[in-house]
Amino acid sequence: MAERAIDRKPLTFAEAAALDPEQFPGELDAGEWVQMTRSTWRHGELMLKVGLLLARYAEQHPGWSVAVGDPGTKLHHGPDVLRGPDVAMVRAERRPTGRGEAGWLDGAPDLAVEIAGDAQPLANLLKKGMEYLAAGAAMVWVIEPDAEKVVVLTPPDHVRVLGTGETLEGSEALPGLRVEVMSLFG
């Protein structure tokens, strides 16, 4: 079933949900299954660091839910677009609780975080970032570990690049959040 489903175009959310994520990790891009590779250890460490940082924020500001490790987000229906940000944060009332397709977020997270690396170059992640914004995200962080920079995207199409001497702020999306960019890479 899985291989035949991947060969079909366009693939639907339901067909993508039936795939074994261990055998076929990936995303759905306008109905086409895009297989992903495993992330590096450094990528995983950074994903955890950002996830913990946002989890602390959520503890201090109740009403938020944070997920790491490519949680499914359904950005567009027909053709279906399914993304898996490295870290996602949503208002708790939007947190999906089901299994399979029912466990994927309908729409963009309030904050999507993507980390550039071997498997996903910066240009691809900036494109995804704009997709998150178009689907309703309030903010997107694209982290570039090699350059030690964070690209912050906000609606409608504002782009700001922050380096290690600067502070990443949640602005209106996450009031009170302040992170020294340098702390992400130490």
Domains and CATH numbers, the chain: 39-185 (3.90.1570.10)
What is the model's pTM? 0.88
Decide: 89 and 56 in contact? Cβ < 8 Å.
Answer: no
32-35 and 26-29 beta bridge pairing:
antiparallel
Nearest to 178 by CA among 56, 48, 23: 56
Q: Is 136 helix (H, G, I), strand (E, B) or coil?
A: coil
Per-residue pLDDT of the chain (186 residues; tens, 9 = 90+): 334 446 667 888 888 888 877 777 777 788 888 877 778 889 999 999 999 999 999 999 999 999 999 999 999 998 889 999 999 999 999 999 988 889 999 999 999 999 998 778 899 999 999 999 999 999 999 999 999 999 999 999 899 999 999 999 999 999 999 999 999 998
Decide: 91 and 65 in contact? Cβ < 8 Å.
Answer: yes
Task: Give dist(CA 146, CA 80) in Å, integer.
Answer: 32
Two tokens, residue 174: 């996450």
Task: Please give the helix or strand (H or E) that residue 179 lies within, else none.
Answer: strand 178-180
Q: What pLDDT shows up at residue 93? A: 95
Decide: 154 and 139 in contact? Cβ < 8 Å.
Answer: yes
Residue with tokens 């987000």: 73
> Going along 109-162, which residue ranges are E strands?
111-115, 139-144, 149-154, 158-162
Between the CA of residue 30 and those of 12, 102, 131, 140, 145, what are the distances in Å?
Answer: 9, 19, 11, 20, 28
